[in-house]
Amino acid sequence: MQESYEQRTYDTAVPAPAEPADPRRWWVLAVLSLALFVITVNNGLLNVALPSVMRDLGAGIGTTQWIVDGYALVFAACLLTAGTLSDRYGRKRATLLGVALFGAGTLIALTAAGAAQLVAARAVMGVAAALVMPGTLSILVDVFPRPERPRAIAVWGGTSALGVAAGPVLGGALVAHFWWGSVFLVNLVPVAAVLAAGLVLLPESSAKDPRPADPGGALLGSAAMVGLVYGAIHAAGRGWTSAPVLGAFGAALLAAALFVAWERKAPSPMVDFALLSRPVFLGASAGNMLLFSGLAGTLFVLTQYLQFALGYGALRAGLAIAPVAVAVGAGSAVSPALTRRTGARGAVTAGLAAAAAGILTLSAAHGYPVILAGLALMGTGVGVALTPATDTVLGLVPPQRSGNAAALNDTMQELGNAVGVAVVGTVLARRSGAPGAGARIGAAAGTGFTAAAAIVALGALLAAALLPGPERGADRAGEPVPDRM
């Protein structure tokens, strides 16, 4: 008799038989990395255009928070369901469908005549990104043998960081010569390339025993996320203790409690509570979530600080942020060796601590040299922490469950993005006064950076407490939980 899903235990690993590596795996990685680049470059493209959006659409900081978070919030809300669908119907199909939908959302954004249409376009792109993200990581796990996987994940993660850094440069160049909507043109060529190459190169895979969809859990989880982000954003204008904001937080808490109750009784829950309860998973995923939360909040503030306070044009602001990509690459290069010596705990903790220190350096900056030093330290920390944290998460599950595990990790990461922009953006708005008070953003930016640094520092503390050190790191961090049937 088959065990129900919730009856499966996660105490011992069932080793999978070795299979020959896919000879096209590095070409597959190139396609997957380009797909990831498309969905990560997006926020960077738009961030540098936010001052132009504020001027042309008459938008305040609260509206721009929704334009940014309309993408990240929908992305996070759909990821778990997308991971389940990817496992059931095929990861290649889900990835390519998501890329095509992303292109459609881009075309809607290109023609946006107002803030509401732009938020809607970003929501469509968020749904698309949710289909793309878990598939890329699951296919990577399928085609790369365990010894090569850390290097492949480092390339995959480095591509994500490259998208973050390249977005402001490309977006700044376009905004400097065209209108703000032109930043979305950058998406179209990679979308076409991924669709063409992916049809030929990507292997299809799916779970042998895919779980059914869980629409009740998806709705409750989405409601909790929306309430949390809504409350954080609207605290900018109404205050943290106002009735609407407290009501939103209360609704988010209620939805979260109902979500947990529902998932614990559901025959096929969308969240693996046995996995979620493991300290190693929490240390890695929560560390990633808080890292991206602080990073998203930092970039949201920095692009406005450079233009409003230092008087940079859009292109110059984008170029000023670009060195973070070099720093991420340097951090990614040293991360595997550091992980071997210190375990996941040492590498992730050191990376998060360095990132927090870099963001805190930005809070004391009054000119670009100090900003450059802060970006270098922050980027190095991101590069050091990202690969071991991600590899630790994926090592906890067998390949046939990688889509859902990747989706759970990515959900926490994207929720971190949304909450980071909401919270740090609200701190900025409260300190700078009335919405759209661009001239006062310079004085308020330091407080925003300090809040972002505190968020990342919390992630470092969790990683230090929960992740395995070098003794266990070599044996247990990558040990998968079984998939008994």
- Alpha carbon dihedral 338, 340, 344, 346, in 10-degree steps, equals -40
What distances in angstroms separate CA 265 from CA 4, 57, 260, 273, 306, one per listed residue?
12, 47, 9, 11, 50
Q: Which residue in the block uniquely carries the two structure tokens 């000023």?
A: 320
pLDDT in tens, 209-219: 666 667 777 78
Q: What is the pLDDT of residue 11?
A: 40
Six-digit token pair at 152? 């492949």
User: Token pair for residue 302?
Assistant: 């920095």
Span 267-301, pLDDT tens digits: 777 777 777 778 888 888 888 889 988 888 888 88
pLDDT band at 232 (very low <50, low <70, confident <90, very high): confident
Q: Tally DSSP H helices, then E strands, for the chain.
A: 17, 0
Q: pLDDT for 188-204, tens place per residue?
A: 888 999 899 888 888 87
Contact 48, 303 (CB under 8 A): yes
Question: 6 vs 107, which has greater pLDDT?
Answer: 107
On the CB side of 256, CA atoms within 13 Å amount to 11
Q: Which pLDDT belongs to residue 473?
A: 42
pLDDT confidence of residue 484: 36
Asked if 194 and 38 touch (Cβ cutoff 8 Å), the reply is: yes
Residues above pLDDT 70, as percent of the chain:
81
Q: What is the rounded distance in angstroms from the CA atom of residue 118 to the CA atom of residue 187?
A: 15
| pLDDT surpassing 90 at residue 458 | yes
> Is the Cβ–Cβ distance between 163 and 40 less than 8 Å?
yes
For residue 441, the tally of other CB atoms under 10 A from its CB is 23
Q: How far apart are CA 319 and CA 466, in angstroms?
A: 37
Per-residue pLDDT, 136: 77
Yes or no: say if 348 and 476 are a contact pair by the CB < 8 Å rule: no
Q: What angle do CA 340, 344, 346 make, to 5 degrees?
A: 85
- The per-residue pLDDT for range 336-375, each reduced to its tens digit, is 888 888 888 889 999 999 999 999 999 887 788 999 999 9
Closest CA to 167 of 300, 334, 31, 78: 300
pLDDT of residue 398: 65
Q: Higher confidence at residue 161 or residue 465?
A: 465
Nearest Cα residue to 310 out of 251, 371, 253, 260: 371
Q: Token match 């340097």: residue?
A: 330
User: Using one digit for the tens of pLDDT, what is the confidence trace for 302-343?
Assistant: 887 888 778 888 788 888 888 887 888 788 888 888 888 888
DSSP state of 305: I
Give pLDDT, residue 434.
47
| Per-residue pLDDT reduced to its tens digit, 70-99 | 787 788 778 777 777 777 778 888 889 999
Residue 419 and residue 314 in contact, taking contact as beta carbons nearer than 8 Å: no
pLDDT tens-digit map of 398-443: 665 655 666 677 777 777 877 787 778 777 776 665 444 455 666 6
Percent of the chain's residues with pLDDT above 90: 9
Structure tokens at 280: 């190693």
DSSP code at position 366: S
pLDDT for 461: 92
CA-to-CA separations, 207 to 37, 101, 135, in angstroms, rounded: 26, 23, 12
